[in-house]
Structure 1
Amino acid sequence: MHPFLKKLLDGENVEWKPLGEVAEIKRGRRVTKSELIPDGTYPVYSGGVTPMGRYNKSNQDKNTITIVKYGTAGFVNFITEEFWANDVCYCVIPQSTLINKFLFYVLTNKQREIYSLVVDAIPAHLPTEEITNLPIPIPAPNNPEKSLAIQNEIVRMLDTFTKLISELTRELGLRKKQYQYYRDKLLDFKNAADFPFLQKLLNGAKVEYKPLGEVTTQTKNINWKNTLKTYQYIDLTSVSIETNTILETSEITAKTAPSRAQKLLEKDDVIFATTRPTQQRCCVIDEKYDGEIASTGYCVLRAKKYVALPKWIFYCVTSNNFKKYLEDNQSGAAYPAISDSKIKEYIIPIPPIEAQNQIVDILDKFDALTNSLTEGLPKEIELRKKQYAYYRDLLLNFPKPEPAPVDAGFPKEERC
């Protein structure tokens, strides 16, 4: 036990009790999608991480702990407003001996353990008996006043970290909006007269307008019959929507490659996901993935670098104007998509290469401040999250009772 926690307990012991003994665990009541009201007063929490919609009634008070039973089974949440709990999530109401937020922190500290209790079936679900028997620490069980004081102190410290992370995240959101505003301004040459900085940057140079198909070259698909090489495969989930970077890939060969693993990549290619295109899942291929394979679910844009820089194309296809174009030209309601040819019909501004370089340099700096995990606010948030996780583990790492010795069944020795 860490010395700080030992000092906090001040000689008091810790008793572990099943969650079902220290809290009421109840399921909500079903509301179907057809009953949802778009502008309803209260959010409806069901089997997901975020609300499934809104409703004009609530059945739970604010500051309630929920644990998902079906869907994202095992996910622990703390709802800070009145809401409607659907029947696929548990609501956990602690007894007076437990502070609500303390129990929430205990449960989130056990998040991996709770996920491990989920039954892998169709659908995946968290059995009631498993969550009911989850052991919960009760500090100073024989001294209720001191127990609540210890819990309060732990909550106070962890709340300090979560508040700081929330403030930094809110600040990052404002920075991202600022970045998007200036990105769209720097790409809007038709209204350059309203933005003197852009006029000065152009210095009288003309801006052409060309479809993406004219400023990019043809790409190739792999011939799996002629290769024994192992490739890194970039599928539709490999690219982060938030940071526009590749998070993870899988190794494939001619024998293991899925049918969609076809598109050969080169350094500086811009890949853009054509399924659910308004998510704008895209990135620039760096040297690490030069020569690797992408899914046919990506449109590969290989810049004619003497006309348009790769990063210029990237910023054009992450703009709000391009998103509007996607909304107007995608097809399919349940699974919207857009064709490669339609993407290449989108017309982008082509200022001189020198102006592109200057604008890309500015946007790269904004992007680093809002997306990079090695600098700016994202780095600060990541560090604070790690710090919070460290102290949460430290403050909730209560001593567990020694397991009872196993009786092997041998006869005990008789004393003389």
Structure 2
Amino acid sequence: MSFLDKLLEGVEVEWKTLGEVCDFQNGFAFQSSLFKESGLPIVRITNINGSNVELKDVKYFDATDYRSGNPLNYYIEHGDVLIAMSGATTGKIGYYNLDEKAYLNQRVGKFIPNKEILNNRFLYHFLLTKSEFLYVLAGGGAQPNLSSNSLKEKLLVPIPCPDNPKKSLEIQQKIVGILDKFTELTAELTAELTARKQQYSYYREQLFSFDENEVKHLPMDNESIGEFQRGKRFVKTDLIAEGVPVIHYGEMYTHYGTWAEKTISFVSEELVKSKNLRVAQNGEVVIVAAGETIEDIGKGTAWLGDEGVVIHDACFSYKTKLNPKFVAYFTRTKQFHDQIKKHISSGKISAINAKGLGKAIIPVPSPEEQARIVSILDKFDTLTTSISEGLPKEIELRQKQYEYYRDMLLTFDKKI
């Protein structure tokens, strides 16, 4: 007998349309021209992340601006379950876990379960198993769009022991209790990761703060410590499955951290020779020099691979006598970015040249002190970014564990 069978204790499960067990409210058509910087918060589709509602990049409104309709009737309270109805986040579910009231924007929907039949949190966990169904229901493609009618008519919800509402809600609550333990653990780990990242950032800044009277400070292009060399152009269509290791500038934002020994992309030896592509050697730091925002520019990755790596023309290699990981960590400090941002040209693509990078002043402590700093920051880096042994790995494992039990506990036989 499965764990789910034990929970059900032999009772039947009836599948009902969402409309039979739950009402639904569409959002209010707030006008972007009336958005405020403060006031009552509006939840838009971009605030729904697939599990929760995040009040980031929030717009606000003043109810007195609206003479027709009453936006205050579209409130969201703690415990409400929302869904994105259109756009890139179509079908994503969000649980509103905040105490502050917020308000539904158009294209955001709110589920209103019949409390005598359906546990709100049970519905939430169930909806998380229906992402593919919701995507198909929305029409898929480039412009998916959900309607409240299609949700109410076509989404089927399992109701255990439908003839005994009290027992049904007890079973639903037992399932919720089990699944919530997993989500709570994931939330705790995520909160710890956030705290550790803040701690990491703080210590990184502190470890690169030296008294100028005690430790030498030099421009990064000072020939006694290093020199910059720009990469050469190749395009994504040049990339192949095997060959000479290569770092494309876009991968600096999506894949690489403070150091790397292997690449995820390659080019042919023939291309390297025919285009005379630039190769960074072991111990050099690859620094990205172009991006969509000023904040993106300047992050470095110490190359520690056994063979050279080809670098894109939107990157520089920094051949240095300093500890390469020391330099890479420095390029991720506020101290460094405050120095280079005035040399970054802004536009559709922001960029910096070698001269601008070279003007940044870097502290040059003894090799032993550089190694000590690297050792400390390596521990923080592993804890906060490693997908093999740090907190991100632990969070990933807990999320998979939650999804396993969620699917097991919410997969019922359909006897409609």
Normalising to structure 1: TM-score of the pair? 0.77
Q: What is the CA-CA distance between 1:235 and the residue it aligns to?
A: 5.2
Q: Does the CA-based 8 Å contact 1:274-1:340 persist in structure 2?
A: no
Q: Which residue of 2 aligns with 1:164?
A: 185
**Larger CA deviation: 154-163 vs 143-152:** 154-163
CA distance in 1, matches of 2:306, 2:15: 50
Task: Confirm whether residue 125 of structure 1 aligns to residue 145 of structure 2.
Answer: yes
Provide closer, same or farther for how the CA distance between residues 248 and 227 of structure 1 changes in structure 2, counting only shifts above 3 A: closer
- Alignment correspondent of 1:291: 309
- Residue 187 of structure 1 is matched in structure 2 by 208
User: In 2 relative to 1, CA 239–266 (structure 1 residues): closer, same or farther, beyond 3 Å?
Assistant: farther
Matches within 5 A, 1:73-88: 73-81=90-98, 82-88=101-107
Instruction: Work out the CA distance in 2 between the residues paired with 1:370 and 1:80.
Output: 25
By how many angstroms is 1:352 displaced?
A: 2.7
**Secondary structure, in 3 states, of the residue corresponding to 1:87?**
coil
**Residues in 2 aligned to 1:11 and 1:401: alpha-carbon distance in whole angstroms:** 14
Q: Secondary structure at the match of 1:15?
A: strand
CA distance in 2, matches of 1:393, 1:345: 55
Percent of counterpart pairs with the same letter? 32
> Alpha carbons of 1:94 and 1:4: their partners in 2 closer, same or farther (altered >3 Å)?
same
Amino acid at match of 1:312: F
Deviations 1:201-248 (A, max 9, x none): xxx6x4232135752331441578x99986666352663489668999
Q: Say if 1:27 and 1:88, in contact at 8 Å, map to a contact too.
A: yes
Q: How many residues align?
A: 378
Name the residue aligned to 1:300: 316
Distance 2:135 2:142 in 1: 16
2:4 aligned with 1:5 = yes
- 1:127 Cα deviation from its structure 2 partner: 4.6
- The corresponding residue for 2:396 is 382
One of 326, 340, 345 as aligned partner of 2:353:
340
Distance in 2, Cα, partners of 1:349 & 1:326: 15
Residue in 2 that maps onto 1:221: 232
The 10-residue stretch of structure 1 (182-191 or 52-61) with the greater mean CA deviation from structure 2? 52-61
1:65/1:76 contact within 8 Å kept: yes
Task: Give the direction of change, closer, same or farther, for the CA distance of 1:227–1:87 in structure 2 (3 Å limit).
Answer: closer
Once the two structures are superposed, what CA deviation does each residue of 1:240-283 show, in whole Å capped at 9, x if it has no partner?
489668999567779x9xxxxx8755555323363224146654
Instruction: State which of 278, 290, 297 in structure 2 corresponds to 1:274.
Output: 290
1:148 Cα offset (Å): 0.4
RMSD of aligned residue pairs (Cα, Å): 3.6
Out of 119, 123, 146, the position equivalent to 1:103 is: 123
Aligned residue for 2:368, secondary structure, equals helix
Aligned equivalent of 1:210: 219
Instruction: State the secondary structure of the residue aligned to 1:84.
Output: strand
Match of 2:133 in 1: 113
Does the CA contact (< 8 Å) of 2:249 and 2:288 recur in 1? no
What's the CA shift for 1:340?
3.0
CA contact (8 A) 2:22 2:113 kept: yes
The verdict on how the C-alpha distance between 1:244 and 1:26 changes in structure 2, with shifts beyond 3 A counting, is farther
Gaps of 5+ in 1: 193-203, 257-261, 403-416
